[in-house]
Amino acid sequence: MSDTSAPNGSPAGSPLLSAAESEKMQAAFKDIAERSQKLLKDFSERYQAEGPQAPDPLRLTQTFMDFTAKMIADPAKLVQAQMELWQQYMRLWQVTTQRMMGQKVEPVAEPAKGDKRFNDPAWKDEVVFDYLKQSYLLTARWLQGTVKDVDGVDAKTAQKVEFYARQFMDAMSPSNFAMTNPQVVKATVESKGENLIKGLQNLLTDFERGKGKLAIRQTDMDAFKVGGNVATSPGKVVYQNKLMQLIQYAPRTEQVYSVPLLIVPPWINKFYILDLKPENSFIKWATEAGYTVFVISWVNPDKELTKLVFEDYMKLGPLAALDAIEKATGQRQASAIGYCIGGTLMATTLAYMAARNDDRIVACTFFTAQVDFTEPGELGVFIDEDQLAGIEEMMAKKGYLEGTEMATTFNMLRANDLIWSFVVNNYLMGKDPFPFDLLFWNADATRMPAAMHVYYLRNMYQNNLLVRPGGIVLDNTPIDLRKISIPTYIQAGKDDHIAPARSVYKATQLFSGPVRFMLAGSGHIAGVVNPPRAKKYQHWLNDTAKNPPTLAEWQAGAVEHPGSWWNDWDKWLSEKSGPKVPARVPGDGGLPALEDAPGSYVKVRLIE
């Protein structure tokens, strides 16, 4: 029998490795073996200490069993759906055969506009990969259409099934597998498999970062440093308590408006989304516009703060900040901004203050903030009794929800962009993620104290009690949003998948004071962080005297304006911010400086 091996022992026809390449490959395999062994040892020890993990942490089994029962209850409809899929497959096979014979044909299925998974020309130019792509698209669209068309399923269950079916189909895309992604196949041949070896090392690195759980790197985490090249606006921490630090930013004008501005960011993420870099920093821009800017920097809670409740966030957050601002500036009144859940907190706080005749806030702005959760968007799929019970069970072990759990939830809303694109880049292509400050911020996760988070999810998202007068009581004070009579400016993002514009708009029908609603182009982040100098996106305004009942009616009479909305907001707020006074230097007022901005609370990281 003849020898079919190459001189170095490789199978005949395979790429030959030089001595240096062979040595490099052996070193890589040794590294992988050693790290894998350590991970398995750590997993074994954790398994013995914590016991087995729940096989269905999202508690979806019963949901899909109930859904499947309703689906098969109408077998004729199911057979019809399967026949339609087979007919589409037959059409695709015919078109593919015609193309292989040299005929020019039109595709049966094409990716949606903006679907980056199939950008490589090979998905269109190579018949095999084109067939894989179209077959996948047909199946995915058939499945999504089928789950929508099942009788007897309530709207909540249908949304839940549709969302998780989409997660499954996104995961099964041929772009996510080495042998069915033309870019990966090409890279594997050209690098003689080095991309897959490097990808495996990247995978192990991410398991190590996550202490046994996969923590996918979306960017080069070593390329950024909080206070170094992100969150760099100069200022001082002038007050702190166990829940937050209050930062006063240095003025950039000789005179400032007499009324200071307090920014209340979400505690689900860190505040420096508003101060990523000088050219797109809202905080820097606001100081340049003549405002004395204060920002709350929330603590990253640990086991010592697990008992904190929503009321604590109000008292130790904006209310404590107002007290501190008065001491720092001598000015009793301030304006405020609430971003996302920080906006939900601000609305609650304003109603609380109104009930107590506290007029210290003269005007308030809301960035992508929901107060009526009737239509919370896709985040609503995570809010039902089964899944809330699962979250509570998860939090009960430590007293808080891990920041990585929240990050995964938000990433699932855009899984192809925020999960699977990095799986392909990091693990299949073997590349390191590109340095990107926004994704560095996105990965800088924060914990949620159990008591507060359960209160928020159940009272706001699940039961929508905030819109009911007296539905929520804080510090023995019934909360009624209709008592908010100060001027408000409400911003929503047209493409926001976290706080949908139609949901944000509902606040215009609740507040009793004058409300200026503005719809910005783009989504939850870019719709907010859009400096005028960028000349990106657009915004819409409707100057009718009274906001109509629905967003659709408001849009019908709205006028589109190019670029950023920040100047419109500045014009609105400046008229409510009092006369100009000499600029205030942080630490020179009634409160001494404790440390330089951005402070120490924001620098506590969960994963490096």
**Residues marked as catalytic:** 340
Per 3-state DSSP, what percentage of the chain is helix, strand, and coil (rounded to 5)?
50, 10, 40
Q: Is 554 exposed, middle or buried (0-12, 13-18, 19+ CB in 10 A)?
A: buried
454/401 Cα distance (integer angstroms): 10
Query: 361-367 and 334-339: which strand pairing?
Result: parallel
3-state secondary structure 134-152: HHHHHHHHHHHHHHHCCCC
Tell which residue, 369, 387, 607, has the closest CA to residue 491: 369
DSSP 3-state of 598: coil
The distance between the two most distant Cα atoms of the chain, rounded to a whole number of Å, is 97
Ramachandran assignment for 544, one of left (phi > 0), alpha (psi -120 to 50 degrees), beta (any other): beta
Q: Which residue matches tokens 């033309």?
A: 182
Cross-strand pairs, 540: 519, 560
- The per-residue DSSP string of 408-448 comes to HHHHHTTHIIIIIHHIIIIIIS-PPPPP-HHHHHHHS---E
Q: Distance of alpha carbon 578 from its chain centroid, rounded?
A: 36
CA 527 – CA 308 distance, rounded (Å): 31
Backbone region of residue 368 per phi and psi (left: phi > 0; alpha: psi in -120 to 50; beta: other values): left
Q: Which residues pair with 131 in a beta bridge?
A: none
E strand or H helix at 336, and its extent?
Answer: strand 334-339
The candidate with the shortest Cα–Cα distance to 563, out of 507, 517, 522, is 522
Of the chain, the end-to-end C-alpha distance in Å amounts to 56
Residue pair 314/474 in contact (Cβ under 8 Å)? The answer is yes
* Contact yes or no for 271/263 (Cβ under 8 A): yes
Query: Which helix (H) or strand (E) element contains residue 105?
Result: none
Strand pairing category for 334-339 and 261-264: parallel
